[in-house]
Amino acid sequence: MIKVGVLGFGGLGQAAAQVLAPKQEMCLVAAADKAGYAYDPDGLDLHRCAAAYRDQGSIGHAAGVGTLSTNSIAELIQAAEVDGYFLALPNLPNTFMASVTQQFMDAGWQGVLVDALKRTSAMEQLLTLRPALQKAGITYLTGCGATPGLLTAAATVAAQSYAEVHSVTITFGVGIVNWEAYRATIREDIAHLPGFTVDQAKAMTDDEVAALLDKTNGILKLENMEHADDIMLELAGICGRDRVTVGGIVDTRNPEKPLSTNVQVTGRTFEGKISTHTFTLGDETSMAANVCGPAFGYLKAGVNLRQKGITGLLTAAEVMPQFVC
């Protein structure tokens, strides 16, 4: 049984807890949000934790297992016995994931860390920690959500047919009905729009986000996004990062996807033919399923890598995720 922790208990963190609930190989024992944490070595009660977060503002209020803290991540690291953490944390600011990672190293913690970060610049911050992570005995798998993650791994597999890869084009469709459940994610999306910086998006009030969405009929159209798929495919030797493009449409007022999420990998075969492989996600799969499933598949792979003595920083394009039963 792999003991799992989740950092962040918003929409993504709670979906992660739901994904884990029926698993036989993994058990959620620890979780933290900004204001507190919860730990139960026998497994957290998802409903109690979700209720504490929803009704009282923090998982730290969960009766019997919760602790309120302004230093929740550092305290949880010390308090809990966990094999691997899924960092279901906001990407903003870009240095946040790297600073949390530094906390794990400072605490002398050893285990597996998995993130679903999105921005190239956030991953570049992490890459500077590669030697330190290896030394610290941490196996860190980065970019392990949907994109980057599931689609980057599919692109890596698809690339194998080609002598040269000309382009990797990722196009996603997301449909949600309640953007308020994904406050951090929506602001990250807004930060990709022309005319917005990361800091501006992060500083927006809920009313300002709602006003923006009113203007666009709830649609966010994103083009040429700064997405870490590019650096991951470059590091894996598949193609230069300039050949990777990511864009998509987010509909915040419709649970149906505005288009089928897909990745197209175009290249030249050894015979000189130009062709395109396409990997398309089923429309009924949610963002939460396509992020959390891969994240735990990589966490399991990370646990096995660590058992074989492999530590340091790896990306979702370098490791085959495993299926969590």
Give the active site residues. 118, 188, 192
Question: Is residue 325 close enough to count as binding a copy of itself by CB under 8 A?
Answer: yes
Applying CB under 8 A, among 38, 294, 299, 302 the residue interacting with a copy of itself is 294
Relative to beta strand 164-175, strand 244-251 is parallel
User: How many angstroms separate the CA atoms of 302 and 166, rounded?
Assistant: 30
Give the one residue of 125, 290, 302, 306 binding a copy of itself; rule: CB under 8 A.
Answer: 290
Task: Evaluate whether 168 touches 264 at the Cβ level (below 8 Å).
Answer: yes
How many whole angstroms from its chain centre is CA 202?
Answer: 18
What tokens appear for 174 in the block?
Answer: 């997301």
Closer to a copy of itself by CB, 24 or 205: give it: 24
310: contact with a copy of itself by CB under 8 A: yes
Cα atoms in the 13 Å half-sphere on the side-chain side of 21: 12
Residue 200 φ/ψ region, left for φ over 0, alpha for ψ in the -120 to 50 degree band, beta for the rest: alpha
- Nearer of residues 4 and 201 to a copy of itself, judged by Cβ: 4
Q: Which is nearer to a copy of itself, 178 or 276 (CB)?
A: 276
When the beta carbons of 186 and 288 are compared against a copy of itself, the nearer one is: 288
Q: Token digits for 81? A: 């016995």
Q: Give least dist CB 164 to a copy of itself, A.
A: 9
Give me the DSSP letters along 120-154. Answer: HHHHHHHHTTHHHHHHHTEEEEES-BTTTBHHHHH
CB of 256 vs a copy of itself, minimal distance in Å = 12
Q: Tokens 């953007």 correspond to what residue? A: 179
Spell out, one character per residue from 136 to 175, where the chain touches a copy of itself: x when CB under 8 A holds, - when not: --------------x--xx-xxxxxxxx-x----------
Helix, strand or coil, per DSSP, at residue 266: strand
What one-character DSSP code corresponds to residue 245?
A: E
Among 184, 193, 277, 312, binds a copy of itself (CB under 8 A): 277
* Distance of closest approach, residue 147 Cβ to a copy of itself, in angstroms: 12
The residues, any chain, with a CB within 8 Å of residue 149's CB and separated by 6 or more, are 116, 143, 290, 291, 294, 295, 298, 316
Give the total of residues touching a copy of itself (CB under 8 A): 56
Q: How many CB atoms lie within 10 A of CB 273?
A: 11
Interface with a copy of itself (CB under 8 A), residue from 30, 232, 238, 303: 238
**CA dist., res. 103 & res. 200, Å (int):** 27
**Minimal distance, residue 318 CB to a copy of itself, in Å:** 6
Assess 221 for contact with a copy of itself (CB under 8 A).
no
Sorted by sequence, the CB contacts under 8 Å of residue 227 that are 6+ apart come out as 118, 119, 120, 147, 148, 170, 244, 246
Can residue 242 be called a binding residue for a copy of itself (CB under 8 A)?
no
Q: Is 177 in the site for a copy of itself (CB under 8 A)?
A: no
**276: which residues sit within 8 A by CB, 6+ positions away?**
264, 265, 266
Residue with tokens 């497994």: 43
Task: Answer yes or no whether residue 1 interacts with a copy of itself by CB under 8 A.
Answer: no
Q: Which is nearer to a copy of itself, 217 or 276 (CB)?
A: 276
- Name the one range near a copy of itself by CB under 8 A: 124-132, 180-188, 244-252, 302-310: 302-310
Name residues contacting a copy of itself, limited to 254-273 (CB under 8 A).
266, 269-271, 273
Q: Which is nearer to a copy of itself, 80 or 168 (CB)?
A: 168
> Which residues in this chain contact a copy of itself in the complex, by CB under 8 A?
15, 18-19, 21-22, 150, 153-154, 156-163, 165, 236-238, 266, 269-271, 273-286, 288-290, 292-294, 297, 308-310, 317-323, 325
